């Protein structure tokens, strides 16, 4: 069964590896396998834009869909607010300005 490591540990390890620290020394210090650290480093390079690939936040289609739904809900809230302000102003959208 895979072992789950805290996000803070992963973040710190990635920062240290990207700063140039040896994977072997880091693996011995924090008790994470070499292969796990290499995988984390590879993904950190992709996320940083230094290597081609799918970024971690783009890989999950459900998370991507949730992000898009959130954006659309924000847009809808702005449209509703603008509509309310327009109604409060008392302007008639069908009124003619020619006569």
Q: Which domain holds residue 41?
A: 1-53
Same domain, 85 and 68: yes
Q: How far apart are CA 50 and CA 78, in angstroms?
A: 37
Q: What is the pTM of this model?
A: 0.54
Note the pLDDT of residue 96: 62
Total domains present in the chain: 2
What is the enclosing helix (H) or strand (E) of 12?
A: helix 7-18
Helices 7-18, 34-48: inter-axial angle, 10-degree rounding: 70
**What CA–CA distances, in Å, run from 79 to 27, 74, 93?**
52, 9, 16
* Percent of the residues in the chain that have a pLDDT greater than 70, as a whole number: 86
* Residue 18 φ then ψ, to 5°: -70, -25
Same domain, 48 and 2: yes
Same domain, 48 and 68: no
Same domain, 79 and 40: no
Note the pLDDT of residue 56: 75
Same domain, 42 and 21: yes
Domain CATH code at residue 25: 1.10.10
pLDDT for 13 beyond 90: yes
């Amino acid at each position: 069964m895979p072992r789950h490591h805290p996000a803070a540990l992963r973040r710190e390890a990635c920062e240290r590896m990207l700063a140039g620290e040896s994977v072997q020394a880091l693996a011995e210090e924090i008790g994470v396998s070499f292969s796990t650290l290499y995988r984390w480093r590879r993904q950190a390079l992709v996320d940083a834009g230094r290597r081609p690939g799918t970024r971690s936040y783009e890989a999950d289609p459900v998370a991507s869909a949730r992000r898009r739904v959130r954006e659309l809900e924000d847009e809808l809230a702005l449209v509703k607010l603008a509509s309310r302000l327009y109604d409060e102003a008392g302007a008639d959208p069908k009124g003619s300005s020619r006569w």
